[in-house]
Structure 1
Amino acid sequence: MEVFDLIGPLYRRVQRAVEQGAQGTRSAQGEQALSVGVRAVLDLLHKHGPMTVPQMGRAQAISRQFVQRMVNDAVARDLVESIPNPAHRRSSLIRLTEEGRAAIAAVVAREHAVLREVGGDLTDADVRTCVRVLAQMLTLFDGVDVN
């Protein structure tokens, strides 16, 4: 339970910091910074390739409606595009555009630079153990309906 007691506040603080850091900032290309929701969509597509909106919702354990709003925002900014889905006529695949690939690459690079400063006296083994524990906890709750 101590892990859960820490994860919630940590997540909310990081999310708030990302949003506050994004407000009013612009990338080197002069584009408005990404919201946390749009960033999450771009990150999923960057890691997994084209996906449907329902697939993204399940992957993030959030509602399809919220993902659709984020996809709509990303489409309006030319960061993603809809393409035909050979497996399902009515559920298009969403994929990154060149602008989307560049945007998520820049965001991830900036985040990694900041996170490298967090280390303190943590070792690589500490971080690997933390990731293993959190992944196991996530697996434990796979299939739990959050809607």
Structure 2
Amino acid sequence: MHNVNMKAEQLHQLIWMSRPLMQAAEGCVENGLTGTNLTVRMRAVLEILHKYGEQTVPELAARLDIQRQYVQIMCNETLTSGFIEQRPNPRHKRSPILTLTNQGSALIEDILSKEMQIMQEMSEDLSTEDIATALKVILSVVDGLQKRTGERK
């Protein structure tokens, strides 16, 4: 690593810190779901439906960037909870439309509100510019890595 410059080393460290970041984020999300009967996977389904409205499983899979078969399992779990429901899809008989129930909508709004309060508290020690720069760097790194692996959409 003698010829690697400091910038490259810092970028490498940034990439490797993504795993502990995601593990800590998932742990925090899990803590926030205590008493809700939701799993992190179910919460993800609720959040996408809340943010984008009704979706099919393939649409959810695309938004979550996860294989459709895995998202189908996530949706099946969430359907049995009563937080989402399915309706026939006039455009595709084998791909029903999933939508939040009133209970699911109220629950995800409460969860997101609590999570945004945590983000508000954490952001107090950071400048708007620092957050914008970090986001710009992460988006650039993800794009660069996806281009190199052929995963770019």
Report the TM range for the smaller structure's normalisation: 0.7 to 0.9
> Which has more helix, going by share of residues?
2
Partner Cα distance (1:88, 1:17) in 2: 38
Partner Cα distance (1:8, 1:138) in 2: 14
Computing the radius of gyration from Cα coordinates, the structure with the larger value is 2
Q: Post-superposition shift, 1:104?
A: 0.7
CA RMSD, 1 decimal: 2.2
TM-score (norm 1): 0.80
Residue aligning to 1:70: 74
1:14 aligns with 2:25: yes
Matches within 5 A, 1:117-136: 117-136=121-140
Residue aligning to 1:106: 110
TM-score (norm 2): 0.77
Partner Cα distance (1:3, 1:128) in 2: 16
Residue aligning to 2:93: 89
Identity among equivalent positions (%) equals 33
Partner Cα distance (1:135, 1:101) in 2: 29
SS of the residue corresponding to residue 10 of structure 1 reads helix
The unaligned stretches of length 5 or more in structure 1 are: 27-31
Q: Post-superposition shift, 1:67?
A: 1.4
Residue aligning to 2:43: 39
